[in-house]
Amino acid sequence: MILCRKTWSWAIDKVEIEERSFLIWPDLAEPYTGLRWDVLHKHRDPWMKDYFLPFPVEQFPEAHQQEALLNHGRCQDALFIMDDLVQELLKGMDFKITEVAVRVKDPVMMLVHVRPDGTRSSISSQHHVFKITLANQESLVLDLSGAQYGWYGPTKMIWSKYLDERSKTILKVRDFGAMTGENLALADSYGPTGMTFPGVLGSVKKSVKDALSCWQRENLSFKNLLRCPENEFKSKQDQMLSHTEECVSREVAIANKMIKAAGWRPSMGTHA
């Protein structure tokens, strides 16, 4: 959620709830292309202003709206950014992690884009999750971005229950780290600046990893954190998240400066 707030890059004119749909009217500064990072912020000159801007909390006072929007289309980013943390949390256990793409079923809420001509579209073709198989062959799912479908919890479920309740079919199974490799290769393909969305996320990913490693060295390991009494756990968790947010904020500020200096246009992903 920290990452999504700090790398928010699209504008919304209004939102309405209609039955099981969360309708979004993008505030368009140019023809709609279907990619969320191609939608510019309102009244923003893409050559002059920052690409990544703070999430507009004032537009969405309801916590569930914020969570759904912040997770919208970010399932691949979640696997990319969080794989190091997931591995760290499971350190010392006998486990295997795979990355699974599923087609969702029976979402509680579906986020739908409403185009200027009134047509509607959603990005529900694939949803990416971690599958964790333990030594006793018990399998769990870690769904870090399920809130975009109205699944605000639990993040962790028994795999068979997840398939029964939330997955229509399994589309793809890949080795752990595949998403990271794919994103870093894509960033490298754009040359030395790396100022594409995957390139910026790669820098932020390293910042998150370094921040959490630093926090563990100066405080306590994740394993010991999980053993803390509830009040102490909450306090230390807040400290850790605050430290991580500071590091991510610095990295995003650097990215904004580099994007502007390179003359990279957010709306097109090209140089001047």
**Residue-wise pLDDT tens digits, 27-75:** 654 433 333 333 333 434 443 455 666 777 877 778 888 888 888 888 9
Strands 12-18 and 21-26: antiparallel
pLDDT attached to residue 139? 95
61-65, 125-129, 165-169: which is most confident: 165-169
pLDDT (mean) for 106-118: 84
Of the candidate ranges 35-49, 51-65, 113-127, 134-148, the one whose mean pLDDT is the lowest: 35-49
Identify the helix (H) or strand (E) that includes residue 151. Answer: none
Helix (H, G, I), strand (E, B) or coil at 107: coil
Q: Provide CB contacts within 8 A for 69, sequence distance 6+.
A: 12, 15, 24, 55, 60, 111, 148
Mean pLDDT across the stretch 113-132?
84
Per-residue pLDDT at 178? 94
pLDDT at 42: 40
Amino acid 211: pLDDT: 74
DSSP 94: -
Indicate the pTM of the whole model: 0.78
With 90 as the cut, is the pLDDT of residue 115 above it?
A: no
Token code pair at residue 168: 């229509």
At 190, the pLDDT band (50, 70, 90 cuts) reads low
Mean pLDDT of the chain: 76
Dihedral over alpha carbons 237, 242, 247, 251 (to 10 degrees)? 120
Q: What is the pLDDT of residues 175-184, one digit of tens each?
A: 999 998 888 8
How confident is residue 113, by pLDDT bands cut at 50, 70 and 90?
confident
Q: Enumerate residues 6+ apart whose C-beta is below 8 A from 60.
A: 15, 66, 69
